[in-house]
């Protein structure tokens, strides 16, 4: 365990006897070995840029422009094309090099119109959204009885006799948590419920939204089961409307829902990853420090939190390095991915395109969790690079970051590169309120606090500056070619 991590450990571990604590503390004082991995001039310059970022960046202007001018931009839509043009124009204008759009084949789905009503025992129109990939009702109104469960396992326990011809309603409430940990189980229900229900003859799936909004917004999102298309409509209800549906069911009377939807899965089409670089200099110039966000958004809000903020954070971070007066040793590459939301197409095709140079990607960082303050810095790097991570953390601690573990996922768009062995650094944004806005009509610019946004930029730029300017790297992590999970109980 490196000295500095040990020091952090001491501060936290008050169960040690006083004398031991004192001795260890003395050790730290006696051997302040914190500057082994990052040369002093790099650390000082990183701290300067960090503080500059805290004082102000271009991030807010970028997310304002993207949301107010382009607006929403789901893959394959006119907004998507407009977003690609916006990104090219802005990366050029900011002075990045090698600015380019790299073509990506993307999934294409259109929401159309949706009308969902309880028709018995009491008539109510519900606030609901079709889930991405949901088929429509082919011009008809689909009416059926509702069968309620609270989990995928309860759904799996039903037979075709229970579900055939009925609508399965999965009434799972998402936990609110700073880490966003409630989203995993909820998004799994969104991805898998339709598949399990369809196997048992259900005609549609309705879920309580995979979100925490206490306002009347449904949360959309993909209902892809490992890229397999959905065969029955999938609908998410706002929390208040799920309450209303549950109330009808608890009355003990037969509850009927009626759904009309013109949602449509269209042929795959073309979008693009947009890339801009701050070229490196010298022998390490062909190595890449990767900063990513995604350019697409769902089609209901203006994609401010998801992921306009991320686009703005990584671009503003790279811009600070671009303007720092000296080219970095490694190349900083900003990639704004196509279609994260509905199949990770941009990330997957980037990984294929750059298959032969993945080992030149020495580390990746993604911003795709809104604009809450970063509170924790974690990693997924080679064990022998943990000293370096600790030293980067020492630069981040003054702006409020705790030290996390070495199991960071790095974000959805880095999944393929991470599984191919690229180390990642994780900036944990405060997710307490993120899932109030995520994938809703309410994801708009007014939710972003400019100071929190700049603290994000400061966090990203500090780590990126160090990674790009030191001799050593983060090693590689184990290659993991395992496919994404399926929907069986064993994989839950």
Binding site for a copy of itself (CB under 8 A): 64, 68-71, 122-124, 127, 214-217, 239-240, 243-244, 247-248, 301-302, 440-442, 444-446
For 405, counting Cβ atoms within 10 Å of its Cβ (0-12 exposed, 13-18 middle, 19+ buried), the class is exposed
Q: How far is the CB of 125 from a copy of itself (least distance, A)?
A: 8
Q: Do residues 39 and 470 touch, judged by C-beta distance below 8 A? A: yes
Q: How far is the CB of 423 from a copy of itself (least distance, A)?
A: 39
Residue number, 70 or 371, with CB nearest to a copy of itself: 70
Whole-Å CA distances, 136 to 113, 188, 207, 262, 268: 9, 22, 16, 5, 18
**Which residues have CB under 8 Å from 269's CB, separation 6+?**
75, 76, 105, 106, 108
Q: Do residues 340 and 307 touch, judged by C-beta distance below 8 A? A: yes
Burial annotation 328-367 (CB, 10 A radius, 16+ → b, else e): bbbbbbbbbbbbbbbbbbbbbbbbeebeeebebbbbbbbb
**Separation CA 125–CA 353 (nearest Å):** 47
Q: How far is the CB of 442 from a copy of itself (least distance, A)?
A: 4
Q: How far is the CB of 440 from a copy of itself (least distance, A)?
A: 8
Residue number, 71 or 400, with CB nearest to a copy of itself: 71
For 254, counting Cβ atoms within 10 Å of its Cβ (0-12 exposed, 13-18 middle, 19+ buried), the class is exposed
245: phi then psi, degrees, rounded to nearest 5: -65, -45
Q: How far is the CB of 215 from a copy of itself (least distance, A)?
A: 5
Taking every pair of Cα atoms in the chain, the longest distance, rounded to a whole number of angstroms, is: 77
Residue number, 125 or 181, with CB nearest to a copy of itself: 125
Closest CA to 260 of 121, 128, 164: 128
Q: How far is the CB of 180 from a copy of itself (least distance, A)?
A: 20
Chain centroid offset of residue 76 CA: 20
Residue number, 191 or 440, with CB nearest to a copy of itself: 440
Q: How far is the CB of 141 from a copy of itself (least distance, A)?
A: 17
**Structural tokens at position 479:** 């290659």
Residue number, 262 or 406, with CB nearest to a copy of itself: 262
Q: How far is the CB of 314 from a copy of itself (least distance, A)?
A: 24
Residue number, 305 or 354, with CB nearest to a copy of itself: 305
Residue number, 32 or 78, with CB nearest to a copy of itself: 78
Ramachandran region, residue 370 (left: φ > 0; alpha: ψ -120 to 50; beta: rest): left
Closest CA to 488 of 108, 153, 115: 153
**Separation CA 31–CA 69 (nearest Å):** 54
Pairing of strands 167-170, 142-149: parallel
Q: How far is the CB of 305 from a copy of itself (least distance, A)?
A: 12
Q: Do residues 205 and 149 touch, judged by C-beta distance below 8 A? A: no
Query: What is the secondary structure of 55-95 as a DSSP string?
Result: H--SHHHHHHHIIIII----TTSHHHHHHHHHHHHHHHHHT
Residue number, 216 or 227, with CB nearest to a copy of itself: 216
Residue number, 104 or 448, with CB nearest to a copy of itself: 448
**Separation CA 213–CA 42 (nearest Å):** 43
Residue number, 13 or 123, with CB nearest to a copy of itself: 123
Q: How far is the CB of 240 from a copy of itself (least distance, A)?
A: 4
Residue number, 253 or 491, with CB nearest to a copy of itself: 253
36: phi then psi, degrees, rounded to nearest 5: -70, -40
Q: How far is the CB of 117 from a copy of itself (least distance, A)?
A: 11
């Amino acid at each position: 365990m490196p000295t500095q991590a040990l020091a952090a450990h001491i501060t936290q571990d008050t169960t040690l006897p006083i004398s031991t604590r004192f001795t260890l503390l003395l050790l730290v004082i006696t051997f302040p070995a914190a500057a082994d991995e990052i040369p002093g001039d790099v650390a000082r310059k990183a701290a300067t840029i960090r503080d500059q970022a805290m004082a102000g960046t271009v991030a807010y202007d970028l997310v304002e422009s993207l949301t107010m001018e382009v607006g929403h931009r789901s893959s394959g839509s006119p907004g998507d094309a407009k977003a690609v043009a916006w990104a090219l124009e802005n990366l050029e204008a900011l002075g990045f090099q090698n600015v380019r759009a790299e073509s990506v084949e993307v999934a294409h789905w259109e929401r159309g119109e949706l009308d969902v009503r309880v028709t018995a025992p009491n008539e109510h129109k519900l606030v609901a959204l079709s889930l991405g990939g949901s088929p429509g009702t082919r011009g008809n109104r689909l009416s059926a009885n509702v069968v309620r469960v609270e989990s995928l396992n309860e759904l799996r326990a039903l037979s075709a006799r229970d579900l055939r011809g009925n609508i399965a309603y999965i009434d799972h409430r998402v936990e609110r948590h700073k880490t966003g940990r409630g989203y995993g189980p909820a998004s799994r229900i969104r991805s898998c419920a339709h598949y399990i229900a369809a196997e048992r003859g259900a005609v549609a799936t309705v879920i309580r939204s995979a979100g925490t909004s206490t306002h009347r917004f449904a949360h959309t999102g993909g209902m892809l089961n490992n890229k397999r298309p959905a065969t029955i409509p999938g609908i998410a209800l706002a929390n208040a409307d799920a309450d209303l549906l549950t109330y009808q069911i608890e009355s003990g009377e037969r509850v009927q829902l009626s759904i009309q939807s013109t949602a449509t899965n269209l042929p795959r089409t073309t979008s693009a990853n947009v890339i801009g670089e701050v070229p490196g200099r010298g022998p390490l110039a062909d190595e890449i420090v990767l900063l990513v966000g995604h350019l697409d958004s769902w089609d209901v809000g203006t994609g401010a939190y998801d992921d306009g903020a991320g686009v703005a954070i990584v671009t503003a971070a790279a811009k600070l390095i671009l303007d720092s007066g000296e080219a970095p040793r490694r190349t900083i590459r900003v990639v704004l991915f196509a279609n994260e939301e509905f199949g990770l197409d941009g990330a997957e095709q980037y990984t294929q395109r750059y298959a032969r140079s993945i080992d030149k990607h020495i580390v990746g960082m993604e911003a795709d969790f809104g604009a809450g303050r970063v509170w924790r810095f974690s990693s997924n790097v080679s064990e022998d690079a943990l000293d370096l991570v600790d030293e980067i953390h020492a630069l981040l601690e003054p702006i409020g970051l705790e030290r996390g573990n070495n199991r960071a996922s790095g974000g959805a768009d880095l999944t393929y590169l991470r599984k191919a062995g690229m180390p990642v650094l994780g900036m944990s944004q405060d997710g307490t309120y993120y899932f109030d806005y995520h994938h809703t009509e309410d994801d708009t610019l007014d939710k972003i606090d400019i100071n929190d946004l700049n603290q994000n930029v400061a966090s990203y730029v500090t780590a990126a500056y160090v990674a790009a300017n030191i001799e050593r790297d983060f090693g590689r992590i184990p290659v993991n070619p395992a496919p994404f999970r399926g929907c069986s109980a064993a994989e839950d």
